Amino acid sequence: MEKMNQKIMAIIYSEKGNFLLLRTNPKWMNVDVWFIVTGSIEKGESDEEAVRREIKEETSLEIIEIKPTNYSCKYESPKGRWNNEKAFLVKVKESKPELSGEHIDYKWLNKEDFIKDIAWDEKIDSKDNLISILDRFLYVNN
């Protein structure tokens, strides 16, 4: 069996309590959706180092805190590659992100609009699990 690709997903929120969604560049990713920062963990890199690198590459936002969660999901990509993606909550200083070529727009949203607008693939996992992550790790552990 092919080795599973290890990835991170960064649910970014600000000190003001807003959540960041990034609009994917369809020329780069073949889809036009609002999503979060994701990326592969490079060889020799820790999960937290991957989160820091991906946020710097895709947004250049100033990180205040990284909170690991116990959430991960396994899924097969459209190219047939298996991925294991671990979720992190990342508190940042709210500002205008410097977008990489992967994204063409951004928006800071309250929790309800973030949950409504995120392109969460219900075939991979329920949006209820996303809500559970936010409730359990942000609003209980602060």
For the chain, domains (ranges, CATH) are: 5-138 (3.90.79.10)
Residues 88, 93, 97, CA angle at the centre, nearest 5°? 85
Q: Convert the pLDDT of each residue in 49-67 to its tens digit.
A: 999 999 999 999 999 999 9
Q: Convert the pLDDT of each residue in 97-142 to its tens digit.
A: 999 999 999 999 999 999 999 998 877 777 888 888 898 877 644 4
Residue 8 confidence (pLDDT): 97
Residue 139 confidence (pLDDT): 65
Give backbone dihedrals phi and psi of 115, rounded to 5 degrees, phi first. -65, -40
Bridge partners, residue 86, by sequence: 8, 72
Residues 41, 142, 67, CA angle at the centre, nearest 5°? 5
Residue 77 confidence (pLDDT): 80
Residues 113, 40, 61, CA angle at the centre, nearest 5°? 50
The number of beta carbons lying within 10 Å of the beta carbon of residue 62 is 11
Residue 88 confidence (pLDDT): 97
Q: Convert the pLDDT of each residue in 8-52 to its tens digit.
A: 999 999 999 999 999 999 998 788 999 999 999 999 999 999 999
Residue 30 has, within 13 A of its CA and on its CB side, a CA count of 3
**Residue with token string 């949203």:** 109
Joined together, the tokens standing for residue 127 give: 């949006």
Distance of CA 5 to the CA centre of its chain: 16
